[in-house]
Amino acid sequence: MEWHIIGIAASFLTTFGFVPQIVKMHRAKSAKDVSLVTLLQFGAGNILWALYGVYLKNLIIMTANIITFITIIVAIAFYYHYNREHGLLDNF
Amino acid sequence: MEWHIIGIAASFLTTFGFVPQIVKMHRAKSAKDVSLVTLLQFGAGNILWALYGVYLKNLIIMTANIITFITIIVAIAFYYHYNREHGLLDNF
């Protein structure tokens, strides 16, 4: 079994894991019940995973987490944009 | 620098990344705008990451992804429970 294929498939799924969440907020023009803390926690976690990937010299772990971090930034921007618009900012 | 501390901190943040989302849905008794596809994608990704962790013989990657998978199951259950209650099931 080519184990790296498993790693690459895993990367794709979780790297782009927040893309449907971004699409859903954008379509609904709403971010009610989406957790900001979850987004912040993943953002911070992605940075540390990327560093750990450097230590492991594992390019998959590094790039996957950097890309996810970028999607998290977009998701946080949408969280603020849509919740501010609807007066729903609870910062949680 | 003790690199494993970075790995452990990264694990904690992303392993429990969906816990605030679960708490938020439970408090609001609502799961509007939470993306089911994001949850399913992470669930599938976590299984593959855990397998890749077996190949890497990396206990952190294995356990982190198994625990996250369990939290994803809870989040999906809440997604269905609260959206069904409010007639908001869009399966996206």
pLDDT by position in tens, chain A (length 92): 688 899 889 989 999 999 999 999 999 999 999 999 999 999 999 999 999 999 999 888 899 899 999 999 999 999 999 999 988 888 89
Residues from chain A that touch B31, judged by Cβ atoms under 8 A, are: 33
Q: Mutate one of A11, A16, A38 to test the B interface: name it (highest B CB count within 10 A).
A: A38
Q: Give the pLDDT band of residue B67 (cuts 50, 70, 90).
A: very high
Q: Does A21 touch chain B (CB under 8 A)?
A: yes
d(CA B86, CA B80): 10
Tell if the CB–CB gap between B28 and A33 is shorter than 8 Å: yes
Distance from CA of A77 to the nearest CA of B (A): 15
Work out the angle at residue B6's Cα, subtended by the Cα atoms of residues B2 and B12, and round it to the nearest 5 degrees. Answer: 135
Q: Are B52 and A10 in contact (CB < 8 Å)?
A: yes
Q: Which CATH number fits domain B3-85: 1.20.1280.290, 2.60.120.330, 3.30.930.10, 3.40.190.10?
A: 1.20.1280.290
Stretch B71-80: mean pLDDT, rounded?
98
Task: Tell me the domain boundaries of chain B.
Answer: 3-85
Start-to-end C-alpha separation, chain A: 43
**Cα–Cα distance for residue pair B82/B73, rounded to 1 Å:** 14
pLDDT tens readout for residues B9-26: 998 999 999 999 999 999
Residue A1: predicted pLDDT:
66
B21 and A35 in contact by Cβ < 8 A? yes
Q: Contact B25/A45, CB-based, under 8 Å?
A: no
Query: Would you state the pLDDT for residue A27?
Result: 97
Chain B hits for A41, CB-CB cut-off 8 Å, are 13-14, 16-17, 20
Which of A13, A28, A37 is facing B20, going by the closest CB pair? A37
pLDDT of residue B38: 98
**Model pLDDT for residues B26-36, shown as the tens digit of each residue:** 999 999 999 99
Average pLDDT over residues B52-68: 91
Give, in degrees to the nearest 5, the angle at Cα B65 between A62 and A20: 70
